[in-house]
Each structure stands twice: as structure tokens, then as C-alpha cells.
Structure 1
Amino acid sequence: MVWLIVAVVVGSGIYLVWRRHRYPGGWAFAFSRAYESERLGLDAARGSAREVVRRAARAESAALAGVTSADAAFEAHLHRLEQRLAGLRRPGSGARLGSLGELVLFERVVMVNSAVGSRSVELAGLDVRFEAGQQVHSIYLTDATGRVHRAKFSLQAPADSDQEYFDEVTVGDFAVLIQNAVADENVAVARRPRQIKKTEKELGEAREDTRARDAARDRLRETRQRNRHDPQRKSAESELETAQRAWEGLTGRVPPR
């Protein structure tokens, strides 16, 4: 109860101070019904002025959001093109397509993990040959420089053996998988210069095409100019000033806006 009484007293005090500030000049002018019409007139003028200001702020905020959105879309478009161009210039290994024994196949390279180390062999221009044997099956990889690597795959053995074994069909199928990946990469390599040139052109055009950004900025500039010269705003400001002067003439005090 004590806290409730304190809260009521504090709240009432704050309300009285706010009321006296809002309607300066004395207790009667702030609270008496004799001046209710004057207070209502002042409040109406204040409300009109605030509404015009809020409406202008909303319009400007929307126009500013349009600028932000246009800038973000412009930068995102450039980023996509830059990423595409970087991917064409430095395509990397690509997605992993499969592995068998010491070979790991990717879209653009085949990794050879032998006893002497690992190396990456580009698929473009790679010659792939499968050879079945009595003890081992082999996949021969001849790169564009003429260097040859032979991947060996031991034949199928009993299931309880610890050694890894491969049957002819499995090794042959993997050789075909490499050959098909080579064919795809050869086509991609042949197309890549044209794709790079096309993407470079698109990127250049995108950097110069600022129409959407310029239009958004024009809308923001026009909105701000329209707000500054809005006849309703001027009228509302004039009415508020008239109401303030009337209150000052009545009380000798200038009320806040």
C-alpha cells in the first residue's frame, strides 16, 4: 500500500508539472474549465503541426529506404558478377566426383595420392587409359606435358584379407568416370575465354549502370524539396504560431509547441 501511495503521488506530481508546462501561465489556465476551449484550440494546432511533420518524416524515410535498397541491389549485383568472374579465372578443383584407390576425382583435377606424395593433375587435355591385368588393373594418366602416372589396383581377393582389392568392372567404370570428367572439362576450358570476356563486359556495364540508384536519389531529393515547400506544413505552422500568440496574449506566457 505504501508503494502504491508513493507511486500515485509521484505520478500525480509528474502529471501536474507536465500540465503546467504544456499550458503555462498559472493553475487556472492549466486546469480551469473556463479556459478549456483555449486549451483545445492550442492542442488542435499542435496536433495538426505534428501530423504534417510525421507525414513528411514518413515520406522521407520511405525515400531514404529506397536509396538504401537501390545501393544494396547495385552492390549485390556487382558482387555476383565479380564472384562469377573470379570463379572463371580461378576455377579451382571443383566438386568431388568420386575416388578409388590412390585417385580422387574432382570436376577439374584428379588428385594422385601415391607413396611418394600427392599431386594434382589437371583434367584438361588429360589422356586416360584403362588396362586390365592378371594381378593388377591399371589406369594410366598422361597429362598435357606428356608425363604419365600409373595407378595400380590389385584384383579382388578373399573378403577376410586386410589388403584393399578391386575388381575389373569397378576400376574400368572409374576410368570411364575420369574420361567423362575430362571431356566435360575440355568443353569448359574451350568455353571459358568467351565466358570471361562476356562476364567482364557485363561487369563493366553493371558498374556504369547507376540508373536505379540515381532515380532513388532523385526521389529522395524531390521528397525533401516537396516537404520543405509543402503548403499544408506552412499552413499548420502558421496556425500553431497563431494559437501560441493567442495563448501568450491571454497568459503572458509562450506555450511549447
Structure 2
Amino acid sequence: MAYVIVVLFAAALAGWAVVTRARRFPGSLALAVLPRHAEDRRPLAQARASVRTLEQTARSEESAARTEAATLKENRERELREAERRIASLEKPGRGGRLDALGELTLHEHVLVKKLSSGAVRTLRLAGLRVRIESGDSAYYLYVLKADGTPDRTNYPRRTGEGDQARGYTEDRVRDFADAVLGAVARENTFRATLPGQLKQAQHDRELLERDTEAVDRAHERLAEIRARNKDNPRLAEARAELETARLQWRRHTGRMPPP
């Protein structure tokens, strides 16, 4: 059964090839497909091939130039979007990325967020904060002092139990978190001190990008030049004229006008 299917498929392909050849070389089936008429078909086949080759070359050149222009435009637009995001992130830094969390406190790049048991949220800007730890009999106390000296205390019950039954916090973990806060505060202080200069530079970079259209303009000019050159290509015009002559010769010989 499989052999029969293969044979039928091969026969269908052969039939399709014959029909296609007959359409391209109309007049008689023998003239279209038999080897002894290869020389009769050659002028028309060669004229077609010349036109197809030149047209394909033109399409490839235009496609490459069009792709280059589109890529340069997309790259420039992406860089402009990145520049805008950079400026926005400096003008409104927000919380920033999450760095660490311990109990009620969550540390971000620019703020320390405290979620109270009542569900309320308190946000402290990191710039100028100070941190200290006190140790009590049943808990560790992490004090965050605002720039004006106002303290904010968070309690961390001492760790009790072992394994899966363990509850609370170790002193090392609380101190590690405090160190993370101090490190973030130092970075934030530097960030805030340099923010005006960073913002000015980011705005300057965006202005340069907005003015710099040379690469995109050059790519579009090249595309226009290629299109104009291909439109007036004397080689292609000559090849098309030769193809038309070959078609007319075929019609005189067979009475049927072949397709281009």
C-alpha cells in the first residue's frame, strides 16, 4: 500500500511538472517537454532567467536596505525610550528594587517600608537614616532614626525552639538586616548627593539622541537611491526587452504567446 501511495505521489508530481512546463512553453506538449526541443526553448528560458536574476538582485538589495533602515530606526527609538526611562527613574526614583526583608520591615533601594499589624504601611526615605540595635531579655529592638532624630522601633522576638518548631529571630539575622539597611542608606546618600548631576547628564544624553538622526537619514537615502537605480536599471530594461522579443518569436513559431 505504501509503495502504491509513493508511486501515485510521484506520478502526481510528474504530471504537475508537465502541466507547468506546458503553460510556460505553450503550443504543443512535445515542444514543451521533449529533450529534442531543448534548443527551441533555450532563448525563451534564458531570457526569463536573465530577467528573474536581475529582478531578484534588485529585490534583495532593496530588502537589505529597507531592513537596515528599519533596524536603525528601531534602535534609535529604543535608545530614546531608555533615555526617557532613565530620566523618569531619576526624577521619581520610587521605592526601587527590593533588597531584603525582616518581619515588618522591607528594604528597598530608596526606602524602608514598615507594614504594621493594623495593615497600615509606613514608608521611610533612606537618605539620612540611622540605625541601632538594642538587645532585651525577650527580643531585639531595631531602631531606625530619621534625619530629625525621630525614632521608629521594630521588635524581633528572640529565637526559641529547634528545627521546625523554631520561632523568632537570631541576633545575627537582625544584625545582618541592620547592616543591609546601613549599606542601602550609604548608597542612597551618595545617590541623592549626585542626583542633580546625574539628571542633568541624562537630559543632555537624551537631547543628543534626539538630534542625532544622521544614521537613520543616511539609511533612508541609501534605500531611495537603490530604488531609483533599480527603477531605471538599463540592464533590467534590456533584459525585459530581450524577453519580450523571445516571447514574440515563440508566438510566431507556435501561434501561442507564452507568459513572461
TM over 0.5: yes
Deviation digits for residues 201-249 of structure 1, max 9, x if unmatched? 2122212211121111111111111111222212211211221222222
Determine the C-alpha separation between the residues in 1 that align with 2:5 and 2:40. 37
Give % identity: 35
Q: Distance in 2 between matches of 1:136 and 1:2?
A: 86
The one-character-per-residue Cα deviations of 1:137-171 (angstroms, maximum 9, x if unpaired) are: 4332232465431223445667699762544x654
Task: Evaluate the alpha carbon distance shift between residue 39 and residue 130 of structure 1 in structure 2; reply closer, same or farther with a 3 A threshold.
Answer: same
2:104 to 102, 105, 111: 102
Query: What's the TM-score once normalised by structure 1's chain length?
Result: 0.82
Is the contact between residue 29 and residue 251 of structure 1 (CA under 8 Å) also seen in structure 2?
A: no
- 1:225 matched to which residue of 2? 228
Superposed counterparts of 1:132-143, under 5 Å: 132-133=135-136, 136-143=139-146
TM-score for both structures, normalised by structure 2 = 0.81
1:163-216 superposed Cα distances (whole Å, 9 cap, x missing partner): 62544x654554343233212111111212221221122122212211121111
Asked if structure 1 preserves the Cα contact closer than 8 Å seen for 2:25 and 2:32, the reply is yes
**Which consecutive aligned stretches of 4+ in structure 1 deviate over 6 angstroms post-superposition?**
1-6
Aligned to 2:50: 48
SS at match of 2:95: coil
For 1:203-242, what aligned pairs fall within 5 Å after superposition? Answer: 203-242=206-245
Does the CA-based 8 Å contact 2:161-2:167 persist in structure 1?
Answer: no
1:164 maps onto 2:171 in alignment: no
When the two chains are superposed, the root-mean-square deviation of aligned CA atoms in Å is 3.2
In structure 1, C-alpha distance between the alignment counterparts of 2:102 and 2:33, rounded to whole Å: 92
- Give the whole-Å Cα distance in 2 for the aligned partners of 1:7 and 1:239: 38
Structure 1 residue ranges without an equivalent (≥5): none
Q: 1:141 to 1:33 in 2, by over 3 A?
A: closer
Q: Is the CA contact 1:102–1:112 (under 8 Å) kept in the aligned structure 2? A: yes
Letter in 1 for 2:55: V
Structure 2 unaligned segments of length 5 or more: list them.
none
- From 147, 152, 155, the equivalent of 2:155 is 152
Distance 1:158 1:40, change over 3 A: closer
1-structure distance, mates of 2:173, 2:9:
84
How big is the shift at 1:7? 5.7
Indicate how the Cα distance of structure 1 residues 144 and 239 shifts in structure 2: closer, same or farther if over 3 A, else same: same
- The code of the aligned residue for 1:64 comes to R
Moved more, 239-248 or 156-165: 156-165
Aligned residue identity for 1:218? E
